[in-house]
Structure 1
Amino acid sequence: MVIPASSTEYITLTVTAQPAGVDLTGTPPRFAFLPEARRGNPTASDWHIGEWDDADTARILIGPSGEPTLTRGAWHVWIEIDPPNDELVVRRAGTLTVT
């Protein structure tokens, strides 16, 4: 995905529960945006709280009127889901380019 730095918009990710039918919406999703040059997993301070748009779509508002505000460059997008079991699922979800 490519967005201009001046844009405030939702970044959305489709989340598929395993096993199917598990309700993930009890805990808000969290997102991390790491600069492309940074390697490794997000740390506690990297996470931003998102919301559920529906049962399988997580979203977060980014940009000058959102949180976080990203500078120009390429960013690795991460998501963290806390399903109603013993798991805490962390996945790199793709790359976002801010122009």
Structure 2
Amino acid sequence: MVIPASSTEYLHVPVTAPAGVSLAGAPVQIAFVDHGDNPGDSEWQPAEWADGAARILIGPDSGLALGPGRYRVWINVDPAGAENIVRLSGSLTIS
């Protein structure tokens, strides 16, 4: 996906739960990284659920302005139980 740096909009990240795991009410976070490592603790941003997907508002009017570049988008969901799901969800280009 490509988003202009001047745009403020929600980025929606689809999430599929493992069999037998409910994501209802589970805390969700999204990270944008421009390096080759997994996200560090300070890179995670709180997100919310909307229509079965995680979403986060990004852009200059959101408090989360990303500079031009290519980012790997990660998601972290912590449902009830022993699992804490962390996945690379895709890439985002800010132009």
In structure 1, C-alpha distance between the alignment counterparts of 2:86 and 2:9, rounded to whole Å: 23
Letter paired with 1:97? T
- Structure 1: which 4+ aligned runs deviate by more than 4 Å? none
1:65-84 superposed matches below 5 A: 65-84=61-80
Q: Which digits, 9 at most, give the CA deviation of each residue in 1:3-32, with x for residues without a partner?
A: 000000011011111115x43132331000
Structure 1 alignment gaps of length 5 or more: none
TM-score w.r.t. length of structure 2: 0.92
Structure 2 alignment gaps of length 5 or more: none
Query: What is the aligned-residue identity percentage?
Result: 48
Structure 1 equivalent of residue 92 of structure 2: 96
Partner of 1:12, secondary structure, is: strand
In structure 2, C-alpha distance between the alignment counterparts of 1:28 and 1:91, rounded to whole Å: 14
Give the paired residue count: 95
Contact 1:48 1:67 in 2 (8 A): no
Partner of 1:39, secondary structure, is: coil
Structure 1 equivalent of residue 46 of structure 2: 49
User: 1:40 Cα shift?
Assistant: 1.2
Contact 2:27 2:79 in 1 (8 A): no
Structure 2 equivalent of residue 2 of structure 1: 2
Contact 2:5 2:66 in 1 (8 A): yes
